[in-house]
Amino acid sequence: MEFSSRYNRSKVIIIIIVFYRMVLVLNGVLQEDSPPDSRTLFHNHPMYRDSALQLVSIPTKVIGPVGLLYIQQRELAVTAPHDKNVSILGSDDATTCIIVVLRHSGRFTPFDAFHKQPIEVDLTTACVGELNTTIRGGIHWPIIYGVGVNVKTGEIFPATFPDKGPDPALRWARHLTGGQQVLDVYDYELGLLRIGPFNYEPLRGVDLWLQQSDDFILQHLSTSPEVEPPHFVTQIRATLKYIQDHPFPAVTVFRDNRPHYYRRDEASGTWTPIRY
């Protein structure tokens, strides 16, 4: 989904994997109640059907790591068009979750403050449900698994990201073990990617999980085993191994309760670890 604020000054772009309650504007009309489901939304506001069909018609781009800020599940990031460190915000592997993109055209506001304010938010694109679904072999597949956002122009496009950024297994581990908090992983003013600190509960039976077949892991650790991307099981195995090696990350990973910081390397364009 894409939203935009109704006030025109500077622009800030946010990607997040969960949905906050905000004052919603549909087709220019302030809504007292949200539509009960996507079918009702598309029936009452056909413009969203048109914009979704336009989005899914765009060829999927494969985005490399240079200039990319990748956002995982239960993470958020905020940046602005003049950010020299980030040119693309992106997230993918969405089968049963939702990626939300917010373009804030007012002054810069940290997300924690933004989502608590009575700000009117215009829904401009809702590529969800039936409009992001195709049927193959009797199985419902997502048409788009991920999106990228051009930070400077605000363009949104279907995308996939082979490089998921620094500390992928650590970040997945927090989600796999049931972490509920949505973490802000980017300091826009300093240009630093920030992971942690956080802890998670040890995963009981992790040794046994690692002994299972790929199909067993797929069937039991996915919400949509029939339509997961090819790298899903490899990703889960790497995460399970990380949890096995670091059952208490507050002790072994985030020593002295310090985050992992990364800065964009000017030569390579990729994130490199730093001490901060």
Cα-only R_g, the chain: 19
Cβ-based neighbours of 51, under 8 Å, separated by 6 or more: 124, 125, 126, 127
Q: DSSP states of 95-113 as a string?
A: SSS--EEEEE-SS---HHH
Q: What is the mean pLDDT of the chain?
A: 87
| CB distance 39 to 109 below 8 Å | no
The packing angle between helices 232-245 and 214-221, to 10°, is: 90
Encoding tokens for residue 124?
């401009």
Burial class (CB in 10 A: 0-12, 13-18, 19+), 118: exposed
Residues composing the chain: 276
Q: Write the DSSP assignment of 158-172 as a string of letters.
A: EEE-S---SSHHHHH
Provide the pLDDT for residue 122: 83
Across 231-243, average pLDDT: 98
**Quick one: pLDDT band at residue 2, thresholds 50, 70, 90?**
very low
Q: Is the pLDDT of residue 88 over 80?
A: yes
Strand 88-91 versus strand 100-104 pairing type? unpaired
In whole angstroms, give the CA distance from residue 254 to residue 249: 6
| DSSP for 24-86, written as a single string | EEETTEE-SS--SSHHHHHHH-HHHHHHHHHHHTSPPEE--STTEEE--TTEEEEE-TT-SS-
Residue 240 identity (one-letter amino acid): L
- Which pLDDT tens digit goes with each residue over 16-56? 444 445 567 887 777 777 788 888 888 888 999 999 999 99
- pLDDT tens sequence across 157-192: 999 999 999 999 999 999 999 988 999 999 999 999
The pTM of the full predicted model, rounded to 2 decimals, is: 0.86
Cβ-Cβ contacts under 8 Å for 268 (sequence gap 6 or more): 66
**Would you state the pLDDT for residue 72?**
94
